Amino acid sequence: MHILSAGYSDQVLGYTNHYHDGHELIYIISGEVEVSVSEKTFRAAEGTLLVFSRFEEHSVRVLSSEYRRYTLLISSEISRGSENYALSSILVNRSQGFEHIVDCGKSREKVRLLFAAIHSETNHQKPMYSKVADAFLMILLSEIYRIAPQRFLVGENKNSEMVRRIQNRFERDCSADVTIASLASEFHVSPSHLAHVFKSITGYSPIDYLISCRLSAAKNLLAESEKSIKEIVDACGFSDESNFSRTFKSKTGMTPSEFRRQNLRRSIDKPHE
């Protein structure tokens, strides 16, 4: 099942900067919020969809007295293999100029009903609910494609297949020790061609994408396990603890230990939804 969780809330609560171990979709039924992600800040209101990859820390500040929304948390496995890659590309890839907000316009009621159907299937768990919920998810992504096709990578060619295979490899095993040169040799292209194509499609260099996979895995282990920093370094493919701490702080603004303490407090206090 690709859906990790499906929620509905009418509580007027925002989020400070946070992460998810999965891609997130938020559909705003009513209200207005201010969103910060990837050094950008923008406003979103009724009938709009917010899209965040699992690499993107983001915050939401509520600007209205009412804030009703559906939320979906989607597994990173949705983009593995060629079958769902095109439709899931809006969740994964961040090419230049990507916008995290989608105005659903005349399709807002259809989008709302699809979120409601996924929420109902996921939470009631009737027979075959996982297959039904995933089917509704594919219909939802197809509807979003009809609204904003420019946010998707449509049609696989030799270059996009190469990128997809590299992404899938990094997602499966982020501890792998690879270089652009070794990848280029494997796919019989030049290092410069591989780097250019990969970044044009994903918005990341191959190494930055691999580091993002490692950081995502490390965040999950810091928040959800009692593994030591050394164990996390070994599991996620960082060269040593110093390199891990330096990289982690440059990307998140805090040390791994500070991140672990912060998420421990959140799990106890539950100040957010």
pLDDT in tens, the chain (273 residues): 899 999 999 999 888 888 888 999 999 999 999 999 988 999 999 999 999 999 999 999 999 999 999 999 999 989 876 778 889 999 999 988 899 999 999 999 999 999 999 999 999 999 999 999 999 999 999 999 999 999 998 777 899 999 999 999 999 899 988 999 999 999 999 999 999 999 999 999 999 999 999 999 999 999 889 999 999 999 999 999 999 999 999 988 889 999 998 877 554 444 444
Sorted by where each begins, the domain ranges of the chain are 3-151, 158-269
Strands in 89-216 per DSSP E: 101-103
Looking up tokens 């420019």 gives: 150
Exposure string (b/e) for 38-67, b if CB count within 10 Å is 16 or more?
A: eeeeeebebbbbbbbbbbbbbebebeeeeb
CB contact set of 160 (below 8 Å; sequence gap of 6+): 153, 201
Token pair, residue 121, equals 């299937």
pLDDT of residue 18: 84
Phi/psi at 11 (nearest 5 deg)? -75, 135
CATH topology of domain 158-269: Arc Repressor Mutant, subunit A (1.10.10)
Instruction: Report pTM.
Output: 0.90
CA–CA gap between residue 247 and residue 158 (Å, rounded): 33
Q: Which CATH architecture has domain 3-151?
A: Sandwich (2.60)
Radius of gyration (C-alpha) of the chain in whole angstroms: 19
